Structure 1
Amino acid sequence: MEAFFKTHKYLVEHTDAPVRRNLMNEIDWSDRLIGIKGTRGIGKTTFLLQYAKENFDTNNRRCLYVNMNNFYFQGRGIADFAMDFYNHGGEVLLIDQVFKQQNWSSELRKCYDQCPNLKIIFTGSSVMRLKEENPELCGIVKSYNLRGFSFREYLNLQTGNNIPVYTLDNILANHVEIANEIAKNVDIAEHFNSYLHHGFYPFFLEHRNFEENLLKTMNMMTEVDILLIKQIELKYLTKIKKLLYLLAVEGLKAPNISNLAGEIKTSRATVMNYIKYLSDARLINIIYHPGDEFPKKPSKVMMYNPNLMYCIYPIVADRQDVMETFFVNMLWKDHSVNQGNRDAAYIIDNKLHFHVTSANHIRRTRNSSEQLYATYDLNIGQANKVPLWMFGLLY
């Protein structure tokens, strides 16, 4: 136990989160069992350590961070360790990468039942289905998703500003005033283009090649998050990776499931399952027409965020595709997104009709006052034409 406290103290004292994530304010910290899911490389470990740094002195031993990567836990279960910590005055146990422990869900249930005053906060992969696949946790676990940096968070980090979160209703009603205020202090276009290329994942702050780092992360998502958690045999890994590549280079369109099945030499049903796994891993987004859902064929498949598009060789990051991918990624956190009646059209929350397009395209076509336009090439909009970058202020 002493070694774990020593590691905890070192990690917390050397944690310096560049941005205080908004999720920190959204979580109800009074709950006893809290799960924080997110894609690999998104900053879950930093999030846990930042919570410890903000709420506990490193010397009082009431809070402890442990990582299930430690080989120690191959010989000792979470519940046994947690009981020991609890009996020595422990109050909050932070468990990183909980899925690395066999039978982790039943172990967490034991902790919950045997240590009534112990709070456990754990991280896991976005692929995990905490309640659907782990009935022993139903009714006792509260699950949250940690996302990559929004454009707002990236902008605050790069410029030193403190731009607040805006709701979608607020943006639609006041986008001209909000944009004018922000544009006074920052170069929107320059920062927006940089964000689309490398701003979603926190490791752009590291002094390493961003694309290589992201490629390694993408491989880990398939090799560990999907295969390990979904218990897929290693021999199928190449099929999943090839499918991801084919979906990426095909761009934003409805996938031809029969062709994809032929390309990776598997059944149509398996292709659909693999697409779902890639979506769960936050490597792609699946768009459906209103009323449709898995296992129906998607109306469109796109990469999960624009950063991923710049890592696929040969690079096929079509500007229109990049802008639509950004729009969907930002809206997806708190809103439903469905396919509209045109290629670049989307229905938000089953009522708002958006068209993602350039300002030049709007000028060349007859536009409707009932249609909302998420418009790139605009720093400041007007009426129903909202600058696309502003949807990056939603979280």
Structure 2
Amino acid sequence: MNSPLETHIQNQVLIRPTKFSDDLKHNNKTFQHRADYYEMIKYINTFLDEDTNNRYFLLPGIRGVGKTTILIQLYEYLTKEKQVSPTDILYITGDNLKRMSNSSIMDGINSYLDIFHNATVESIDKKIFLLIDEAQHDKDWSIVGKILYDTSKNIFMIFSGSSALELEYNADSARRMLKMPVCPLTYSQHLKLKYDYFKNTISKEIIDLIFTGKLPERNLDIEILNIYSSFKNYNPKELECFMQYGGFPSSFNQNTNETIKTVIDMINKVITTDIDNLKGINGQTTYLASQLLYFFALQNPGEISKGSMANHLDSNKMTINKILELLEKTQLIFHIEPFTSSAKRTTKPFKYYFATSSLKHILSTNLGNANLEAKEAYMGKLFENYVASSFFNLKNRSETMYNTYYDANKKNVDFLVQKGLETPVPIEVSWGKKNKSQVKTAMKKYKAPYSVIISNTTRKIVKEDNVIYLPIEIFSFM
């Protein structure tokens, strides 16, 4: 008679995959692939064709960003496109292993190898794939990955799960794995998944415009209108809705109240489960983490000293610093530093932003604050967060080194973006009318040949007196 673990592994290999196609559809509409999927495909193809050291991957991300969907899509690619036998792929989840058989990830892998290959990790002589979802439920997942990587070159493994994975892996694993964070959707990714596939051919031109000052040769506003016209049931206020409720694929099939509940539940789970399970973390720390997120949601984007945060939350700077580090690792927030010398940078406060503007909006809405401000002023705050997260995502997905800073001078601009060691580009963000005095001051200060104002007040790209006016609708396709 099979043990609970053996039964579970057999079901995962022989029965569960027959349900995968249903997991990749909603109302008979198949989900589109996001960029992270295509990135993983490249590594899979290399592994199938040759020996490679790139066979241990970590896909951490905020709950609800679509990591499980990516794993299942990769399973479908392996079986349908590459004709890999289902018995050469193990898809398991750490929570189900615990719940159904009280077993570890290593127990599940050993059982799979024994049942389907009559082999061990040391003796497996064919290429197999391990897709481990919700890996954070096993505290030893990173040790398992290290052992598998060091023992066999025939195992390609992906460990996916909540951003708690970022908090747990050890140095030995870090040297062997390739970490590929799954971030909230960008606006163009959002459009692709919601309105079916379209090829974003203008992203490179927008990046070139920002970092070289060279205007595109074609009318990008017309290109975008053509893209929108190809969508069925396109919402003319899609960008505004995205800044308030987007970033998570689940929002496509939910109304705004459902999206708010889903995101608030996700944030609470990150705090009460992912962070709370760490050693040295207590209930007071997780309570402060929640309060700090709401504090950020209600603030204007700007410099906030850790001392001010500590006073506001009746805590101390050491605790606040620890919480900020944890929240950044969970990918709920990120920071940008002042543009100054390395020595002075450590003495100045950081600016903190949410991973996607919708997190700020939904937390504000949950407190009722979103209804208290004038719409233009409030949308301006969301817009600044959106621009900051767009540059943050660009840095994460680009092979070229980009950095985003804030301007610590008086009469400052919102951002200074820099490619490598090149002259920084002053960036001003405007929801509503904005004059060019700040960018002109920054151009003189940093000897920048041009600057950029990203605004919702123009539909076309215009360059006047070395100031480039870039519509938000075009910037959003970066």
Do the two structures share a fold, i.e. TM-score over 0.5?
A: yes
Residues 1:158 and 1:41: Cα distance change in structure 2 (over 3 Å)? closer
Q: Could you tell me how far apart the structure 2 residues matched to 1:356 and 1:177 are?
A: 22
- Which of 366, 369, 375 is equivalent to 1:315? 369
Determine helix, strand or coil for the equivalent of 1:265.
coil
Q: Report the residue type matching 1:3 in the other structure.
A: N
- Which of 120, 140, 152 is equivalent to 1:103? 140
Determine helix, strand or coil for the equivalent of 1:14.
helix
- Which of 33, 38, 55 is equivalent to 1:20? 33
Which residue is equivalent to 1:53? 76
Q: Give structure 1 regions of 4+ aligned residues with deviation exceeding 6 angstroms.
A: 363-366
Q: Report the residue type matching 1:152 in the other structure.
A: S
Residue 3, structure 1, aligned to residue 11, structure 2: yes
Which residue is equivalent to 2:453? 373
Residue 77, structure 1, aligned to residue 126, structure 2: no
Determine helix, strand or coil for the equivalent of 2:224.
helix
Q: Report the residue type matching 2:223 in the other structure.
A: E
Q: Could you tell me how far apart the structure 2 residues matched to 1:74 and 1:256 are?
A: 48
Q: Which has the higher contact order (CA 8 A, sep 6+)?
A: 1
Q: Report the residue type matching 2:474 in the other structure.
A: M
Q: Report the residue type matching 2:405 in the other structure.
A: N
How many angstroms does 1:50 deviate by? Answer: 0.9
Which residue is equivalent to 1:392? 476
Residue 232, structure 1, aligned to residue 281, structure 2: yes
| Higher percent of residues as helix | 2
How many angstroms does 1:84 deviate by? Answer: 3.2
Question: What does the per-residue CA deviation read over 1:19-55, in whole Å, with 9 as the maximum and x for residues that have no partner?
Answer: 3111222233332111112111111111111111122
Q: Report the residue type matching 2:70 in the other structure.
A: F
298-307 or 83-92, larger mean C-alpha shift: 83-92
Q: Could you tell me how far apart the structure 1 residues matched to 2:266 and 2:182 are?
A: 16
Q: Report the residue type matching 1:306 in the other structure.
A: S
How many angstroms does 1:164 deviate by? Answer: 1.6
Q: Could you tell me how far apart the structure 2 residues matched to 1:286 and 1:119 are?
A: 34
Q: Could you tell me how far apart the structure 2 residues matched to 1:84 and 1:365 are?
A: 64
How many angstroms does 1:196 deviate by? Answer: 0.9
Residues 1:134 and 1:116: Cα distance change in structure 2 (over 3 Å)? same
Determine helix, strand or coil for the equivalent of 1:66.
strand
TM-score by structure 1 length?
Answer: 0.88
Residue 241, structure 1, aligned to residue 290, structure 2: yes
Residues 1:295 and 1:206: Cα distance change in structure 2 (over 3 Å)? farther
Which residue is equivalent to 1:146? 182
Residue 68, structure 1, aligned to residue 83, structure 2: no
299-308 or 324-333, larger mean C-alpha shift: 299-308
Residues 1:297 and 1:279: Cα distance change in structure 2 (over 3 Å)? farther
Q: Could you tell me how far apart the structure 2 residues matched to 1:100 and 1:370 are?
A: 50
How many angstroms does 1:343 deviate by? Answer: 5.1
Q: Report the residue type matching 1:314 in the other structure.
A: G
Q: Is the 8 A contact 1:36 1:124 kept in 2?
A: yes
How many angstroms does 1:358 deviate by? Answer: 4.1
Residue 35, structure 1, aligned to residue 58, structure 2: yes
How many angstroms does 1:363 deviate by? Answer: 7.3
Q: Could you tell me how far apart the structure 1 residues matched to 2:189 and 2:215 are?
A: 20
Q: Could you tell me how far apart the structure 2 residues matched to 1:348 and 1:226 are?
A: 32
Q: Could you tell me how far apart the structure 2 residues matched to 1:392 and 1:366 are?
A: 21
Q: Is the 8 A contact 2:32 2:197 kept in 1?
A: no
Over the aligned positions, Cα root-mean-square deviation in angstroms equals 3.0
Determine helix, strand or coil for the equivalent of 1:228.
coil
Which residue is equivalent to 2:446? none
Determine helix, strand or coil for the equivalent of 2:264.
helix
Residues 1:223 and 1:100: Cα distance change in structure 2 (over 3 Å)? same
- Which of 333, 356, 362 is equivalent to 2:435? 362
- Which of 172, 189, 192 is equivalent to 1:136? 172
- Which of 336, 356, 360 is equivalent to 2:403? 336
Determine helix, strand or coil for the equivalent of 1:336.
strand
Q: Is the 8 A contact 2:186 2:247 kept in 1?
A: yes
Residues 1:295 and 1:217: Cα distance change in structure 2 (over 3 Å)? farther
Q: Report the residue type matching 1:385 in the other structure.
A: Y
- Count of matched residue pairs: 393
What is the aligned-residue identity percentage?
16
Residues 1:188 and 1:325: Cα distance change in structure 2 (over 3 Å)? farther
TM-score by structure 2 length?
Answer: 0.74
Q: Report the residue type matching 2:476 in the other structure.
A: G
Residue 352, structure 1, aligned to residue 360, structure 2: no
Determine helix, strand or coil for the equivalent of 2:180.
strand
Which residue is equivalent to 1:196? 243
Determine helix, strand or coil for the equivalent of 2:176.
coil
Which residue is equivalent to 1:169? 207
Q: Could you tell me how far apart the structure 2 residues matched to 1:37 and 1:106 are?
A: 16
Which residue is equivalent to 1:325? 385
Residue 117, structure 1, aligned to residue 154, structure 2: yes
Q: Could you tell me how far apart the structure 2 residues matched to 1:20 and 1:161 are?
A: 8
Q: Is the 8 A contact 1:323 1:376 kept in 2?
A: no
Q: Is the 8 A contact 2:164 2:275 kept in 1?
A: yes
194-203 or 83-92, larger mean C-alpha shift: 83-92
Q: Report the residue type matching 2:417 in the other structure.
A: I
Q: Report the residue type matching 1:86 in the other structure.
A: L
Which of structures 1 and 2 has the bigger CA Rg? 2
How many angstroms does 1:259 deviate by? Answer: 3.4
Provide structure 1 residue ranges, at least 5 long, that are not aligned to the other structure.
none
Residues 1:203 and 1:7: Cα distance change in structure 2 (over 3 Å)? farther
How many angstroms does 1:128 deviate by? Answer: 3.9
Q: Report the residue type matching 1:13 in the other structure.
A: S
Residue 222, structure 1, aligned to residue 271, structure 2: yes
Q: Report the residue type matching 1:41 in the other structure.
A: G
Residues 1:388 and 1:210: Cα distance change in structure 2 (over 3 Å)? same
Determine helix, strand or coil for the equivalent of 2:430.
strand
How many angstroms does 1:303 deviate by? Answer: 2.6
Provide structure 2 residue ranges, at least 5 long, that are not aligned to the other structure.
1-8, 25-29, 48-53, 118-126, 229-233, 396-401, 444-448
Q: Report the residue type matching 2:477 in the other structure.
A: L
Determine helix, strand or coil for the equivalent of 2:130.
strand
Q: Could you tell me how far apart the structure 1 residues matched to 2:346 and 2:129 are?
A: 40
How many angstroms does 1:189 deviate by? Answer: 5.4
